[in-house]
A and B are shown apart, each in its own frame.
Chain A
Amino acid sequence: MTGTASNVNLVVEQQSPGVLLIRLSGNYCDQIGPDVEVVWEALSRVPVVESLSFESSGLTGWDSRFVAFVFKCAELCRARNVELRHDGLPEGVRRLLRLAQAVPERKDVLRSAVKAPFLENMGKRALKGWAGTTAMFTFLGENVLALGKLLRGRAQFRWADAFLVMEQCGPQALGIVALINFLVGLILAFVGAVQLMKFGASIYVADLVAIATVREMGCIMTGIILCGRTGAAFAAQLGTMKVNEEINALQTFGISPIEFLVLPRMVALLLVMPFLCAFADFISIAGGFFVSVGMLDVTPTEYLTRTVSAIQLKSFLLGIGKGCFFGFLVAYTGCLRGMQSGSSAAAVGEATTRAVVTGITAIVASDGVFAVLTHVMGI
């Protein structure tokens, strides 16, 4: 039986009854490795094989693929209870083979490739979902307790940290909040103008922009921006701290990570969000103003007068209140996912993604609940 590849050659022959010999020659460096199938066929064809030996005097070069071939031959021999004699192999290959066989394969650690039944999978998913929900409520409870301790002045809380976070998610976010909300104001005015012009009611663009902005768009857009910007940053910061065991270090000193790390972020966002929302409202209305005054026959005075008359205090306060709640959601989801992060770089990335997805979903879902509640309450 022979297997060849360019300048290399492999021959399996029966040296004596029960003894097979593999003759190898040529240079196996950067060549297709010898085919173990040839050896397998030979072992299958000969009824009784006691040992397998090598003859490699014609071998001029070898690399890892050659060693892998010998390693597979050794496994084949072990499975068939055949003695492998490797004294005919080059010294380096013999050493590597000994090294590779020094630690037997751990069968107990092998991952099973068997697919779990559908019901088992469903059960596991349900348990995982339940554990996730429990963890979310536990985290919420811990935060409420920590907030209570803060109000009583007993929390391990540093205002310097809170002010730093306030600066990062407040003044430093003004640019992006302004840009997005200005564009949203423009879009609202454009969409409204096209429809209202048909009825000669262009002046009501101001009402549309003002009400939509202060009740919905200002707070929701600001919440989403902060979720992508600040919530992701919270998750990445806390996740990295977990990877570096900084959170474990805090706990060993008896310092609560919730009070020391989560609470400052939560408080900072709760305090900053009302101002950011008010700022977003103002900028968005300015966007509508540009479209109305530029495109429609609306004077600046008319626009501003209509805007002021359209905005009710309760609508404005509703928007600000929702903004505060969205701020809480952003901090809550960001910190939750950060604290739940695994201990690898990939886990931190995953935590960041989950923070943004959970945050945005929570904001949109809760806004729907607010819409129903305000309708029922007549606000």
Chain B
Amino acid sequence: MAYGSHVVMREISARVKRGSVFVIMGNSGSGKSTLLRHMIGLLRPVQGDVFYDGRSFWGMDDEARRVQSRKWGVLFQSGALWSSMTLAENIALPLLEYTDWSANDLNDIVRLKLALVGLNGFEDYYPAEISGGMRTRAGLARAMALDPEILFFDEPSAGLDPLTSRNLDQLILELRDSLGATVVVVTHELASIFMIADDSIFLDADTKTMRAQGNPKELLKHSTDAKLKAFLTRGEFSGEAAARPVTS
């Protein structure tokens, strides 16, 4: 993965199990969001590929990629709602684009999706009129609009208070269980990582590589990687690498 000649990360290889919550963790600037952008087709890897059900994403033609993109929903940082549209219009837009459902059906789905994230009644509000936490939840409702098989979250807890953040984590788990969706989350919030992750990878900005993969609780127990343990213990692990200042 690179931006021009600037290499962000190399030699990443990981499998995401269907129906699991997969967390991409690492320090600030380690390339977590960049990896996510590669996974959802916004950026093309310099070398290598992203595979969905064994099919190369970049090997597909444009139409097949479009069909594949329909199978996922993405929650960007702070929601990334379209500011000139109401919450209802934000959720309805992908439905209008990809389905031929009637206006009544669209209305019902919009109400349901907003109800699922606890925002029923806010259909006619614009993003600027609601709080940051509500914007994130509305972004999640939009991400779920097309009943995606995979939900991607880019730092969903950023800027949220601990309680709202915990509620969002619970919502993610509930949606995974009820929809059976696969969830990929980029975060460095330890509380979230330990609460939701079935599997995870740890990215290191210094070596620009993926240093570990596994359940974070298991990694904390069994890993001998000092840097990873320092990350998972907020620096309380007294390994040699942990003592070094983080340069990223």
* A residues whose Cβ falls under 8 Å from a Cβ of B: 32-33, 63-65, 67-69, 71-72, 91-93, 95-96, 99-107, 109-111, 342-347
Contact = CB atoms under 8 A, between A and B. Distances in A.
B113 A64 contact: yes
A92 B112 contact: no
B229 to A, nearest CB: 36
Interface in B14-39: none
Contacts of B101: 65
Contacts of A109: 121-122, 125
Given A68-B105, A106-B121, A345-B83, A95 B115 contact: no
A103 B124 CA distance: 18
B109 interface: yes
Contacts, number: 80
Interface string B110-146: 0111011011111011111000000000000000000
B108 A65 contact: yes
Contact of B108 (A33, A96, A107): A33
Interface of B: 83-84, 101, 105, 108-109, 111-113, 115-116, 118-122, 124-128, 147, 171, 174-175, 177-180
What DSSP secondary structure best describes chain B's contact surface?
A: helix
Given A65-B105, A111-B124, A345-B83, A71 B178 contact: no
Nearest to A110: B121
Contacts of B177: 92, 95
A78 to B, nearest CB: 13
B83 A344 contact: yes
Contacts of A95: 174, 177-178
B121 A342 contact: no
A191 B209 CA distance: 72
A68 B141 CA distance: 14
Nearest to A103: B118
Given A92-B178, A92-B179, A109-B122, A67 B128 contact: no
A100 B115 contact: yes
11 contacts: A64-B112, A92-B177, A96-B116, A99-B175, A105-B120, A107-B121, A111-B124, A111-B125, A344-B83, A345-B83, A345-B84
A96 B127 contact: no
Contacts of B122: 106, 109
B109 A65 contact: yes
Contacts of B180: 92
CB-CB nearest 10 A-B residue pairs: A95-B178, A103-B118, A100-B115, A344-B83, A68-B108, A346-B84, A106-B121, A111-B124, A344-B128, A105-B120
A264 B238 CA distance: 54
